[in-house]
Amino acid sequence: MSTKSLKRYRYDGPMSGVTLRDGKASREVMLIPGKETELPADNPHVKALAARGHLTEVAAPAAKTKAGKQEEK
């Protein structure tokens, strides 16, 4: 599965397992209420979950410096 269009989402729906297909490649994902996960933004199933309000896009976590501290942007 291509990683170029992955976005971070928070899932707010019933616990669910899904298979996301991208051409010949597929990816098994467990969706757990209240947890964040990276999903392909252009996948039809991801778009449908977002339209139903089950997925909310969240900002990517801030990059950490070598000292392990969060960088301010």
Residue 63 lies in a domain: no
CA–CA distance, 38 with 30 (Å, rounded to integer): 11
Residue with tokens 């969706």: 31
* Structural domain total, the chain: 1
| Average pLDDT score over the chain | 86
Residue 65 lies in a domain: no
Q: For 19-47, what is the mean pLDDT? A: 93
For residue 25, the model assigns a pLDDT of 87
DSSP state for residue 3 in the 8-state scheme: -
Banded pLDDT at 71 (limits 50, 70, 90): low
Residue 69 lies in a domain: no
What is the torsion angle, in degrees rounded to the nearest 10, for the CA atoms of residue 29, residue 35, residue 37 and residue 39?
70
CA–CA distance, 70 with 19 (Å, rounded to integer): 33
Domain, as residue range, for 47: 6-57
Banded pLDDT at 44 (limits 50, 70, 90): very high
Residue with tokens 């139903």: 52
CA–CA distance, 68 with 56 (Å, rounded to integer): 27
For residue 14, the model assigns a pLDDT of 95
Residue 17 lies in a domain: yes
Banded pLDDT at 24 (limits 50, 70, 90): confident
